[in-house]
Amino acid sequence: MTDSKAGPVQLKLEEIYRAESRRVLATLIRLLGDFELAEEALHEAFAAALRQWPEEGLPDNPRAWLVSTGRFKAIDRLRRQSRQDPLTEEMAQQLESDSGDPADWAEDRVGDDHLRLIFTCCHPALSMDARVALTLREVCGLTTEEIASAFLSTPATLAQRIVRAKNKIRSAGIPYQVPSRRDLPERLDGVLRVIYLVFNEGYSASTGEELTRAELSDEAIRLGRLLNQLLPDAEVQGLLALMLLNESRRLARTDSAGELVLLEDQKRELWDRNLIAEGVQLVERALRSQRFGPYSLQAAIAAVHAEAPGVEETDWQQIVGLYDVLHRLSPSPVVALNRAVAIAMRDGPQAGLDLVEDILSGGELQDYHLAHAARADLCRRLGKLADARTSYERALELARQETEVRFLRKRLSLLE
């Protein structure tokens, strides 16, 4: 393998890995019927591509090539293991006979393997936390550390949860398929929660140097679109609208140096108007159905922001009203915090600060850096600089995302 050949091919392979590896894994899981075997096959297939493609050239259909190669690598592995375990020889023979249609491996359809894998990972036989953790790990490729951050848990706890979920799928014989239309609604909540957590990790990364991870939010939106084709439920439309409306602001959320820009300071001409138009249309459709829920209400709030020319022209009365409904429908400390910030914009910082301090005194958000950052900002606006400094320092202790850390340090330094 010469460097002149390997360089461009390796770059292309890395691009294919980012774009296709989770879909290839999903198909291998269906074909092989085992998570661990499929993961090993995925890695071996990409290793083979790195060896062969620089000499042989890129295949016409890279995804189908990777699936086929991974499948044969798994069969070879089972045959080697059959010397110690005769049952693996039966598995190898079964896999060899169930070859399927290779052309089918490359198609992206509503019921594609990625979506099937989500419904498998979100099966009601698993606990809700296990469904979310397993899907984030296997479908989307998040590390256990990233998932643990989303769960406010530890990596060791999450790793155990994922292993138990895989064992449950195997022992219970949970099928790898999209549920029937009759069974879809009851399975929907876990799937929506998974997709939204994936989007959030992409839109505002929990750790690392980069504020966003576009590949994750793009994948969440892709899955949201697929799900909306399969089941155009009001909450599916609401979630897709919410993701599109938030995604429309991506380019404005950081400046040219990569530093965080708050909503009130963003250049709204950078917002993607096509995504906003699509999101507004979806949320209006969801609200008209009268079957809407928390995602649709959050999308409605995002739509009010998206359609306002600036922060001063924003209809804060309408936003507070939507948060009132959301908090009655789906009460949580984070919703209460967001409502308090909206009230501060409508009624002044003291009104918001009173609410934020009540929320913090409840204890549930004591380890949530954004709650302390909100208190710090309201204290700053009121001229309570000592209190603002204390809250900024506490937010800094809790923040793990480098862009947010730099922003908080800058705010803290300005108090000096």
The alpha carbon of 229 is separated from its chain's Cα centroid by a whole number of angstroms, namely: 19
Identify the pLDDT of residue 86: 58
Identify the pLDDT of residue 111: 45
Amino acid found at 132: V
For the chain, domain boundaries: 3-96, 323-416
Amino acid found at 250: R
Q: What backbone torsions phi and psi does residue 343 show, to the nearest 5 degrees? A: -65, -35
* Domain 323-416, CATH among 1.10.10.10, 1.25.40.10, 3.60.15.10, 3.40.50.10790: 1.25.40.10
What interhelical angle do 155-172 and 35-56 show, nearest 10?
Answer: 100
Per-residue tokens: 292:
């809407």
Per-residue tokens: 9:
């091919």
> Residue 239: which residues within 8 A CB-CB, separation 6 or more?
192, 195, 196, 224, 295, 299
- The whole-angstrom separation of Cα 177 and Cα 30 is 9
- The whole-angstrom separation of Cα 155 and Cα 231 is 34
Identify the pLDDT of residue 6: 58
| Burial profile 327-337: b = 16 or more Cβ within 10 angstroms, e = fewer | beeeeebebbb
Nearest alpha-carbon partner for 297 in 357, 342, 345 = 342
Give yes or no for a contact between 241 and 286, defined as CB atoms under 8 angstroms apart. yes
Strand partners, 401: 208
Strand partners, 314: none
Positions in the chain short of pLDDT 50: 1-2, 105-106, 108-111
How far from 129 is each of 123, 132, 181, 199, 292, CA to CA, in Å? 11, 5, 24, 17, 24
Return the DSSP state at 204: S
What's the pTM?
A: 0.76
State pLDDT tens for residues 194-203: 899 889 888 8
Give yes or no for a contact between 76 and 110, defined as CB atoms under 8 angstroms apart. no
State pLDDT tens for residues 278-290: 999 999 999 999 8
- The whole-angstrom separation of Cα 220 and Cα 271 is 19
Nearest alpha-carbon partner for 117 in 191, 172, 189, 43 = 191
Q: What share of the chain is helix, strand, coil (3-state, %, to 5)?
A: 75, 0, 25
